[in-house]
Amino acid sequence: MSVTEHDRTAAGSETAWDTALAQLDEVAEMMGLAPGVHEILRSPKRALIVSVPFRMDDGSTRVYEGYRVHHNVTRGPAKGGIRYHPDVGLDEVKALAMWMTWKCAIAGIPFGGAKGGIAVDPRQHSRSELERMTRRFASEILPLIGPERDIPAPDMNTDEEIMSWIMDTYSMNSGYSVPGVVTGKPVAIGGSRGRSGATSRGVMYMVFAMMRSLGLGIEEISVAIQGYGKVGGFLAQLLHDAGCRVVAISDVEGGLYRERGLDPEAINRHKREAGTVVGAPDCDAITNAELLELDCDVLIPAAVEGVITVKNADRVRARVICEAANGPITFEADKILNERGVYVVPDILANSGGVTVSYFEWVQDIQAYFWSEEEVNDRLRMIMERAFDDVSSFAEEKNLTLRQAAQWIGVGRVSEAHLTRGLFP
C-alpha cells in the first residue's frame, strides 16, 4: 500500500489525525519527500497511555485515561501542551503533536512536537481534586518529561497553576527545583513575562501581516472570533484596542453579534458574573454555527478542531480565516475554501506565538536570566513576522496556498534534520 493511503472512518468523517496525515501526504508528494523520511514522519516516535487514579474529596477513587505523545525530536526536545477535555483521545493527541512539530520548525525553534492530556471534564472537579489528578498524571509521565526531553505547557482547560503542580511534582522527584520542565507557569517560579497572552498576540501579528499583504488597513476590517477562552478572549481585546471592529464572539454556550462592534471589556464583566458571554446586553444572540457563516473580513476559529467541514465550507463568507485553534478546518474543507478564494492563515503558522514564548521561557529558565515583557513581545513579533514573510514568499514562488507553503517549509526543515543526522544504528 502506498504511504499516501490511509484509513478513513467508516462514516467518511474526517478526524484530526486524518487531517494531519492528509496534509503531510499532500506536501510530501509535492516536494518529492524521500519515502523513508515520509514513513518516519507519518508515525509518532512514541506514545504513552497511562491510568490516572486519584482520590476524590469524599474519599472515593476516580480513574481517568491520560496520554503523552512525542511525534518527533530530531530538531530538539519535545514540546507541547497538556489539555483536559472529555473528548481527549490518542488520535487527537497524535495529530496535535504532529502539528506542533511543523509549528516549531516553521518558527525556527529548536523543539520537536509533543502533546498530552487527560480525558476529563475539569468542571466536574474541585481544585483539590484537580491538583491530586494533575500530580498523579505528572508522576505517570515522568519517564518522558524533563527540560532536555519534553517540556509540557498549558493547553485547553489547563493553566499556569496546573503547570506549577507539574513542575513541583517533577522537582520533588528530582530532589531540587527544575523550573525548565514546564513552560506557561507563574512568574514567581520561573515563568516568563508575556507568556499568558502570547498565542493571542501572535495571532494578532498574523492578522496584521495578512491584512498588509492584501493592502487593507487594520481599522477597515471586521472580525468574528469563535471561542472566547484564553486565546479568543484576550485576542478580542487586543484587536479591539488596535482599532479592528470585532463584530462577533462566542463560547461553548453560544455567541454574540453587533454590527458596529462589540465592547470586550463589557463582555468580560458580563462573563465574570454569568460564566458565559451569552446574554450580554446590547448584542444579538447567534449560535456558533451562525458565527462561522457571518459576512466579515476575518474569521478566527479559536475553539476546537474540525469546526469547518465539507458541510459548511461553502457557506463561509469571510475573506480571510486565521486559525487560532489547532486544526479547525478539515482537509477537504480546506480545498473548498481555496477554490472559493478564501485566504487561510494555517494554525501551524498563526498560533505559534504560544510555543515561541514558551521557548523564550525555557531559555530564560536555563540561563536563570529573565527578560522584560517588552523584550518578550518584541522578539515574538520579530519571529512571527519573519515566519509569515518566509511562508508567503514561498507560497508566491511555488504557487501554493499558505498552508501548503507552511507545511512544505516545516516538513522540509524536519526532513533535512533527519537526513543530516542519519538513521541509527
Residues involved in catalysis: 115
DSSP state of 184: S
Say how far apart CA 193 and CA 313 lie, in whole Å: 38
Q: Tell me the three cell numbers of residue 350.
A: 498563526
Say how far apart CA 291 and CA 295 lie, in whole Å: 9
Q: How many CB atoms lie within 10 A of CB 212?
A: 13
**Bridge partner residues of 52 (DSSP):** 64
Of the candidates 145, 185, 322, the one whose C-alpha atom is nearest the C-alpha of residue 244 is: 322
What is the Rg, in whole angstroms, of the alpha carbon atoms belonging to the chain? 21
Say how far apart CA 349 and CA 361 lie, in whole Å: 20
Q: 225: number of CA atoms within 13 Å, CB side? A: 29
Say how far apart CA 264 and CA 233 lie, in whole Å: 8
Of the candidates 232, 402, 248, 249, the one whose C-alpha atom is nearest the C-alpha of residue 334 is: 402
CA 135 to chain centre: 23
Q: Which residues does 113 contact at the CB level (< 8 Å), separation at least 6?
A: 70, 71, 72, 78, 79, 80, 97, 98, 99, 100, 101, 102, 103, 104
Say how far apart CA 197 and CA 238 lie, in whole Å: 10
Say how far apart CA 176 and CA 82 lie, in whole Å: 23
Of the candidates 297, 73, 324, 146, the one whose C-alpha atom is nearest the C-alpha of residue 308 is: 324
CB 80 within 8 A of CB 97: yes
Of the candidates 408, 337, 327, the one whose C-alpha atom is nearest the C-alpha of residue 25 is: 408
Of the candidates 17, 74, 11, 64, the one whose C-alpha atom is nearest the C-alpha of residue 40 is: 74
Amino acid identity of residue 237, one-letter, is Q
Q: Tell me the three cell numbers of residue 40.
A: 518516519
